[in-house]
Amino acid sequence: MNFRLKVWRQADAKSKGKLVNYDANDISPNASFLEMLDIVNEQLLLRGEEPVAFDSDCREGICGTCSLTINGEAHGPDHPGAVCELYMRKFRDGETITVEPFRARPFPLIKDLVVDRSALDRVVQAGGFISARAGSAPEANSIPIPKPDADLAMEAAACIGCGACAAACPNASAMLFAAAKVSHLALLPQGSPERTTRVLRMVRAMDAEGFGNCTNTYECEAVCPAEISASFIAKLNREYARANWRRSAGEA
Ligand code: SF4
Ligand code: FES
């Protein structure tokens, strides 16, 4: 397959960026999008040109490192799935494909298609943890957890922290991300001791990083590779209201 690429090139955050045309020819339909970019980069290197910088790590949809906006969609057109799980057979032969970085104010650009998503790490550092001793694995039945709660917590825990939700949101809101992290721990007894402070701190950190609020456009849910449901945002709002009530009642 042959493609015409329009790739965002920008030397650093201070430089002006622009879309640059590249040809990607003789690409296997079974190549992943990232493998196609690898091939383009090899050809650039052979010509003595600077390769395109982009992020990836696991290349199997679990680490959340890959982060491309393809033809205007975070993670490209094949939802649900991370961009490392996108294959060239999903495009038309001869298609022009526009490749840009995730664009959201809290994700400053580093180079080309690489953005700094450490704002998400700082939101997690604010409260996305439990303080129970992390020793050897406890006996499996020592803390009984109702199956529906365990299943729901597992669904929330599937978030891979990619940031596509914020990149796709017109408000650059990270509510789906924070909702997944808060809900995962709020649903389990292990997360109970810090349940109140966690949500207050994580929402405060989210605001401090410059993420916007949710206005129910559901773009986040549409692009999420882990299929995190927007209903977790309602859970986050309930957790936040509960925490504020407990704090004002002097219970936390
Ligand atoms: S909620 Fe979905 S889109 Fe947002 S960071 Fe988690 S996996 Fe990525
Ligand atoms: S490279 Fe790990 S999720 Fe895409």
- Does residue 65's CB lie within 6 angstroms of at least one atom of ligand 2? yes
Indicate the pairing of strand 109-111 with strand 96-101: unpaired
State phi, psi for 146 to the nearest 5 degrees: -55, 140
- Does residue 106's CB lie within 6 angstroms of at least one atom of ligand 1? no
What percent of the chain is modeled with pLDDT above 90?
A: 92
Relative to the alpha carbon of 225, which ligand is closest? 1
Ligand 2 centroid–CA 160 distance in Å is: 9
- Does residue 183's CB lie within 6 angstroms of at least one atom of ligand 2? no
- pLDDT bracket for residue 132 (50, 70, 90): confident
CA–CA separation, 5 vs 22, rounded Å? 5
Place of tokens 């922290």: 161
Ligand 1, atom 1, lies closest to the CA of 177
Across the chain, mean pLDDT equals 96
pLDDT at 168 over 80: yes
Mean pLDDT of 150-157: 97
Ligand 1, atom 6, lies closest to the CA of 159
**Looking at residue 169, what is its pLDDT?**
98
194-204: per-residue pLDDT in tens? Answer: 999 999 999 99
- pLDDT bracket for residue 136 (50, 70, 90): confident
- State the pTM of this model: 0.95
Pocket test for ligand 2, best of 65, 68, 224 (most atoms within 8 A of CB): 65
What percent of the chain is modeled with pLDDT above 70?
A: 100
- Does residue 169's CB lie within 6 angstroms of at least one atom of ligand 1? no
Ligand 1 centroid–CA 184 distance in Å is: 13
- pLDDT bracket for residue 79 (50, 70, 90): very high
Ligand 2 centroid–CA 145 distance in Å is: 31
H or E segment to which residue 235 belongs: helix 231-248
Please choose, from the candidates 83, 140, 121, the residue with its C-alpha nearest in 3D space to the C-alpha of residue 202: 121
Which of the 8 DSSP states describes residue 87? Answer: B
State phi, psi for 228 to the nearest 5 degrees: -70, 125
**Looking at residue 58, what is its pLDDT?**
98
209-240: per-residue pLDDT in tens? Answer: 999 999 999 999 999 999 999 999 999 999 99
pLDDT at 11 over 90: yes
- Does residue 164's CB lie within 6 angstroms of at least one atom of ligand 1? yes
Angle at 210 between CA 209 and CA 213, to 5 degrees: 120
CA–CA separation, 182 vs 121, rounded Å? 14
Ligand 2 centroid–CA 64 distance in Å is: 5
Residue partners of 107: CB distance under 8 A and separation at least 6: 101, 115, 116, 117, 119, 163, 166, 167
Q: How far apart are the first and last CA of the chain?
A: 60
Q: Are 197 and 244 in contact (CB under 8 A)?
A: no
Q: CA 94: distance to chain centroid?
A: 30
